[in-house]
Amino acid sequence: MDVTVKVKRYDPDAARPQVEWQEYPISIDENATVLDALIMIREEVDGTLSLRCSCRSAICGSCAMRINGHAGLACKTKASDSMDANGTIVVEPAGVMPTVKDLVVNFDLFWKKIEEVEPYLKPEVPEPEAEYIASNESMLHLSGVTACIMCGACVSDCTVLEVDPTFLGPAALAKAYRFTADPRDGDANGVSRDRLAKLGMPSGMWDCTRCNECVQACPKGVAPMDRIMALREQAMEVGFGNTNGARHAEAFTESVGHSGRLDELRLPVQSVGITNIPALLGFMPVGWRALTHGKLPPLVHKNVEDVDTIRRLFRKLNNS
Amino acid sequence: MLEHDVLIIGAGLAGMRAAIAARAGGANAAIISKVHPVRSHSSAAQGGINAALTDRGDEWEDHAYDTIKGSDYLGDQDAIEVMCRSAGQSLIDMEHMGVTFNRDEEGKLGTRAFGGQRRARTFFVGDFTGQALLHVMFEQLIKSGVQRYEEWFVTSLIIEEGQVAGVTALEIRTGKLHAIRAKSVIFCSGGCGRLFEPSTNALIVTGDGMALAYNAGAKLMDMEMVQYHPTTISGSGVLLSEAARGEGAYLRDKNGERFMEKYAPNMMELASRDVVSRSEQTEINAGNGVNGCVLLDCTHLGEKLIMEKLGQIRELGLDLTGKDMIKELVPIRPGMHYIMGGIKTDIDGQTNLPGVYAAGECANVSVHGGNRLGANSLLDTIVFGERSGTHAAAFTRGQSYINVNEGEVVAREEQRLQGMLDRPDNGDRWGKIRLAMGDSMNRNVAVFRNKEGIEETIQELQELKTRYTSVPVHNKGKVFNTDLIFALELGFMLDCAETIAVSALERKESRGAQFRIDYPKRDDENWLKHIVVSQGEVGPELSNLPVTITKWTPEERKY
Ligand SMILES: Cc1cc2nc3c(=O)[nH]c(=O)nc-3n(C[C@H](O)[C@H](O)[C@H](O)COP(=O)(O)OP(=O)(O)OC[C@H]3O[C@@H](n4cnc5c(N)ncnc54)[C@H](O)[C@@H]3O)c2cc1C
Ligand code: SF4
Ligand code: SF4
Ligand code: FES
């Protein structure tokens, strides 16, 4: 099978480092994944191409990148499903995290956020001598979240993180949920009050705009957005619904739903800042990303024309 | 200069466990890994981890017996006793740390059956047990505050006054070379599967630690014992876990016959791995396969069970073969999977070099002998990772650092790497050499072996080693130069390959994973002993060590 892999390249060692597109026409097996294609390029055509990869089986989390504009694992994406009419596959590094070289991005931000949620079990009552007794269902539910391989695909495509690097983001919030939902974490009833309090602060669970990008990007079915919504429910249940973060989110939703843009009097810029604009953008019709890429600031000052669409979307979301 | 009491090379399960233990033992411990810890190959383990829990009527002695029989009596029984005795506590520790193990109806830890064991004692998290354990271990590593050098590649050991005094390492993201001084070094660098093609192993599993230790004078033991797993996907070699058979899947030939009836009438598909792989290969060679494969049949297990317990491997099957195991048979065949051999250690992880330890797949405490039981390897990493970390911490107490001239050491190593970068392009590629090595090993040092074949491979390896000394590196840059790293890894793999081939040639009998067509019987009289390889003046030197037998005398092995 003939295919052209078009790779976005960047070499910081170059005399004048710049982003360049390079096309590699190669011939691969029908069953080959995008990763197989990249490995073939690296081994047989061009040893200067850098990427991370290891397991080839969607479990080590190394090979997340943008394939035809969307984040995913190269080793889990079939080449034959990814070619356009001309047999071309477009491959770029993951988003949000800065590029180090070619398809390799800097994960520092990703890990910092994971560490921020204190990612280890914190039981407040003494451990039993044998194992904790827990229902299989509760463990299966958690395993749906611990299945996260920390690949960063969700972070790459998160519409809030794209403009607000302080947001905890989908992977870290899903990781946090993995503890708040664990019957072994927190008090004798398995309630992790402290965690929920912290996660309710600005840049936490209330800053997600429910754009669903992370759910689509995740190769392991973790569905981070759903976990964030579950976190909000947990927070409400223990009476943290009335925090700044929550009020914020409500006011924001109201404001955008009403006028199609932020009402800066009702929602002071210093508290939300520019950071939540993507919420609004997130609800715009398909194609918004192309429209807004790199052009955020001007949009803030303009009136958003399609107010009706946004209102409609909000109504739809509220009813669902 | 960077310096640590205990420096752990490798951040898989063994390495992180060792680091946490060394830190708990009061040492200034650090861990260095060429990939981020959670990217380590331990993540790929699917099926589970063994332990005999007494509160459900299991006994560590039974686990030990199954392990010893599985090892074809080549495992050292003192080490096996240690592992099987500690298994229960290690498992409970992991549960307390937060692993989301599947449960039974009473809410206690649930088990599944695994090959070569008379009782279900494999604990699991769906079919991604390794990933679940590895991520929890990483959580504990964060909590412990151990210093981490992530994406740093160890290129060489620093030897001063005849002793290992630290390592040189390349910081991959910047291309800067560092020297790190250490009072004690623990190798937890994993196996060497990539020197076979195909292999179930991840691309980073290249025997670096084994080769580094070997070249510094450490002994490697049982290197001929290479496990071929019965259910791997043809082509890429990716694994479909034994968990499938543990949950009840069948193996069928092209006529739909469950051929294991002929080879292991009692245990059938759940006989030990060497036995099942040999049976499959025999059927395939006799023309009873389909395109060089036999068929894995899960269709009678039902969608619910498959989705709940085998979901990940169903996806793998779909992604890589296009077959849905819920309704279709999946073609599979034996493929290289694990190396029982490794750096020889005692039960505390100590090698024959002072201050140098090893644990996990790169080590050989000798709990697996001639054939590892499924789900005993994760256990091995955790039990002996912990023991070596604890022991190393105690060892370094009161020790002082050996003098190291940092500037000189770094300059010398930089020069060596620059030499590789400066090689002229002669048209050769490291990828080609690796493939030739992998093909040769898979042709001649695989499930069935004989003298002529192994000798052919030894010859081919010599030629490849010569080619290796002039293989060019295309990428001349500093930042994330994976081209240079692969070239270095290839050197490690070639060294390991040679030790495997010479050991396989030496053992003139069939035991465990080693089946010699020219010596088809087990020969306890002459070969109930370990083969040890060490680096001599002109290549590998062979010697022997006795097998430790405590209370289980060797008997005929039938499943
Ligand atoms: C597909 C698959 C499935 C498996 N399933 C099971 C199972 O169900 N049950 C079971 O018990 N076992 C299983 N195994 C075996 C088991 O997973 C491994 O033996 C075990 O995880 C090895 O762990 P480790 O800590 O020794 O090494 P690894 O996890 O391989 O870690 C090695 C570490 O060393 C580092 N390293 C290596 N070289 C260098 C260098 N030069 N510089 C710096 N760092 C370096 C790496 O970065 C890595 O962190 C399976 C194996 C495979 C391949
Ligand atoms: S749903 Fe929330 S977390 Fe997920 S990508 Fe959108 S904004 Fe980010
Ligand atoms: S949630 Fe999914 S996409 Fe995000 S890091 Fe985890 S596995 Fe990757
Ligand atoms: S190579 Fe491991 S996730 Fe793709």
Mean pLDDT per 10-residue segment, chain B (559 residues): 97 98 98 98 95 94 97 98 98 97 96 92 95 98 97 97 95 98 98 96 98 97 97 90 93 96 95 94 95 96 93 89 94 96 98 97 98 96 98 96 96 98 95 96 97 98 98 96 97 98 98 97 98 95 98 93
Q: Among A46, A70, A105, where does a domain finish?
A: A105
Identify whether B245 is a catalytic site residue. yes
Confidence band, pLDDT 50/70/90 cuts, at residue A275: very low
By C-alpha distance, the chain A residue nearest B98 is A121
Ligand 4 pocket: which residues have CB below 6 Å? A 35, 53-56, 58-63, 73, 75
Q: What are the chain A neighbours of B239 within 8 Å (beta carbons)?
A: 57
- Tally A–B CB contacts below 8 A: 166
Whole-model pTM?
A: 0.92
- CA B131 to CA B49: how far, in whole Å? 12
Name the closest residue on chain A to residue B45, using Cα atoms: A59
How high is the mean pLDDT of chain A?
Answer: 84
Q: Are residues A231 and A269 in the same domain?
A: no
- Please report, as a single letter, which amino acid is at residue B65: Y
Task: State whether A212 and A133 are in the same domain.
Answer: yes
* Domains identified in chain B and CATH numbers: 235-337 (3.90.700.10), 412-521 (1.20.58.100)
Interface test with B, best of A26, A63, A76, A120 (most B CBs within 10 A): A120
Q: Using one digit for the tens of pLDDT, what is the confidence trace for A17-28? A: 999 999 999 999
Angle between helix A169-180 and helix A136-146 axes, rounded to 10 deg: 160
The closest ligand to the CA of A72 turns out to be 3
Query: How many Å apart are CA B427 and CA B99, to the nearest integer?
Result: 49
Supply the CATH number for residue A15's domain: 3.10.20.30
What's the pLDDT at A241?
75
Q: Which ligand is nearest to the CA of A153?
A: 3
Distance, in angstroms, between A261 CA and closest chain B CA?
41
Boundary (domain end) residue, out of A105, A127, A150: A105
Which of the listed residues A189, A216, A237 is the one where a domain comes to its end?
A237
> Binning pLDDT at 50, 70 and 90, where does residue A316 land?
very low
Is A232 in the same domain as A258?
no
Residue B226 CA, ligand 1 centroid: distance in Å: 15
Question: CATH number for the domain including A175?
Answer: 1.10.1060.10
Atom 6 of ligand 3, residue of closest alpha carbon: A148
Residue A314 CB partners (closer than 8 Å, separation 6+): A253, A256, A257, A283
User: Could B107 and A33 be called an inter-chain contact, meaning their C-beta atoms sit closer than 8 Å?
Assistant: no
Whether the per-residue pLDDT at A263 is higher than 70: the answer is no
Whether A289 shows a pLDDT value over 60: the answer reads: no
Task: Give the separation between CA B415 and CA B232, rounded to whole angstroms.
Answer: 42
Q: Is there an atom of ligand 1 within 6 Å of B221 CB?
A: no
Tell me the per-residue pLDDT of A146-199, one tens digit each, with 9 for 90 and over.
999 999 999 999 999 999 999 999 999 999 999 999 999 999 999 999 999 999
B289 lines ligand 1 (CB under 6 A): no
ipTM score over 0.90, yes or no: yes
Helix (H) or strand (E) holding A100: strand A99-101
Residues of chain B with Cβ-Cβ distance to A51 below 8 Å are: 482
Nearest to B22 by CA among B114, B178, B145, B115: B145
Predicted confidence at residue B308, as pLDDT, reads 87
What is the atom index within ligand 3 of the atom nearest the CA of A174? 1
Contacts of A31 in chain B (CB under 8 A): 235, 320-322
Q: Which of A166-180, A203-217, A284-298, B531-545 has the lowest mean pLDDT?
A: A284-298
Specify whether A152 is located in the same domain as A268.
no
Q: What is the DSSP letter of B552?
A: -
Same domain, A124 and A215: yes
* DSSP E strand stretches across B73-192: 111-112, 122-123, 147-150, 152-160, 163-171, 176-187
Best of A146, A151, A182 to mutate (most B CBs within 10 Å, chain B): A146
Q: Which chain B residue shows the shortest CA-CA distance from A43?
A: B431
Domain that holds residue A256: 244-319
Q: Identify whether the C-beta of residue B447 lies closer than 8 Å to the C-beta of residue A18.
A: no
Q: What is the rounded CA–CA span in Å between residue A168 and residue A154?
A: 12
Number of domains in chain A: 3
- In this structure, the answer to whether residues A180 and A116 fall within a common structural domain is yes
Q: Is the pLDDT of residue A205 over 70?
A: yes
- How confident is the model at residue B430, as a pLDDT? 94
Chain B contacts of A130, Cβ < 8 Å?
55, 92, 108
Per-residue confidence (pLDDT) for residue A261, from 0 to 100: 46
Q: What is the pLDDT of residues A36-69, one digit of tens each?
A: 999 999 998 999 999 999 999 999 999 999 999 9
Q: What is the largest CA-CA distance in chain B?
A: 68
Query: Positive or negative CA dihedral for A56, A61, A62, A63?
Result: positive
Pick A131's closest partner by Cβ from B108, B142, B143.
B108
Are both A127 and A205 inside the same structural domain?
yes
A218 and A270 belong to one structural domain: no
Q: Looking at the structure, do residues A115 and A73 belong to the same domain, yes or no?
A: no
Interior CA angle at B448 toward B233 and B225, to 5°? Answer: 85
pLDDT band at A251 (very low <50, low <70, confident <90, very high): low
Which of A89, A129, A122 has the alpha carbon at shortest distance from A8? A89
Instruction: Establish whether B229 is a catalytic residue.
Output: yes
